[in-house]
């Protein structure tokens, strides 16, 4: 960064925006000590995505026990969604059955992408009726090659109204953060 600042002239630089990685924070301290008039600002999208990750995947550490206890149900929903997605997508017969009941596909999103869990929850909600029809279908119940425990787990979650209320709640209360990420996550200047 220092080389670029020198190349354009420090008097022409007012602000540097980066993500929140530790190496950028360390570089920011060096830059601000050399050029006190240059301000470092963390990327809005990266900051908001980190906020979503902390909401949807809170870690149980000594400093946040109370927060973790209040929000660990979100981690459970996240785990449920991943288990449902993997159970359906990792077997050709289950995927074929799913395709009969839903015009949309389950999304396989890289966990490093911004707001990936929210994107998955939103898609799951869009295909809710298809998923419910699938797990009560003849094809689903007669597919003998499945692991019964996992199959029952998936069905139990998909037909559970309270589980879907929790999915909707997560989507609703994270909507402002998600909307800001969508608005600002662009390559346009």
Domain match, 22 and 61 both: no
Domain match, 108 and 19 both: no
DSSP letter for each residue of 130-148: HHHHHHTSHHHHH-TTS-H
Closest CA to 120 of 156, 155, 82: 82
124 in a structural domain: yes
pLDDT at 39: 87
Average pLDDT for 121-147: 90
Domain match, 63 and 26 both: no
Average pLDDT for 165-180: 94
CA separation for the pair 175, 154 (Å, rounded): 26
DSSP class of 16: E
Instruction: Lowest mean pLDDT of 19-23, 62-66, 68-72, name the range.
Output: 62-66
pLDDT in tens, 113-127: 667 888 899 999 999
189 in a structural domain: no
Domain match, 82 and 119 both: yes
Domain match, 126 and 63 both: yes
Number of domains into which the chain is organized: 2
Find the domain containing 11 and state its range.
Answer: 2-42
Domain match, 31 and 63 both: no
Domain match, 166 and 85 both: yes
CA separation for the pair 126, 140 (Å, rounded): 20
Average pLDDT for 146-170: 94
Domain match, 103 and 23 both: no
pLDDT in tens, 31-68: 888 898 988 888 888 888 888 887 777 666 667 777 77
Radius of gyration of the chain (CA): 22
Dihedral sign from CA coordinates of 145, 149, 154, 156: positive
pLDDT at 104: 87
Domain match, 54 and 108 both: yes
178 in a structural domain: yes
Tokens of 19: 């993500």
Domain match, 139 and 163 both: yes
Confidence category of residue 161, pLDDT binned at 50, 70, 90:
very high
Domain match, 87 and 120 both: yes
Verdict on whether the full-model pTM lies above 0.85: no
How does the average pLDDT of the chain come out, rounded?
86
CA separation for the pair 145, 137 (Å, rounded): 16
């Amino acid at each position: 960064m220092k080389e670029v600042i020198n190349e354009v002239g420090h008097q022409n630089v007012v602000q540097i925006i980066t993500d929140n990685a530790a190496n950028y924070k360390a570089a920011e301290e060096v830059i601000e000590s050399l050029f006190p008039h240059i301000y470092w600002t963390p990327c809005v999208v990266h900051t908001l995505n980190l906020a979503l990750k902390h909401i949807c995947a809170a870690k149980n550490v000594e400093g946040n026990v109370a927060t973790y206890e209040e929000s660990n149900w979100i981690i459970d929903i996240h785990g449920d969604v991943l288990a449902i997605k993997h159970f359906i997508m990792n077997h050709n017969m289950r995927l074929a059955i799913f395709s009969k009941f839903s015009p949309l596909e389950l999304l396989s999103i890289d966990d490093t992408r911004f707001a990936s869990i929210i994107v998955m929850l939103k898609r799951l909600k869009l295909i809710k009726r298809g998923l419910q029809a699938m797990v009560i279908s003849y094809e689903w119940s007669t597919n003998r090659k499945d692991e019964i425990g996992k199959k029952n787990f998936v069905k139990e979650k998909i037909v559970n109204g309270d589980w879907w209320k929790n999915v909707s709640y997560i989507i609703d209360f994270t909507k402002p953060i998600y909307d800001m990420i969508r608005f600002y996550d662009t390559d346009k200047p």
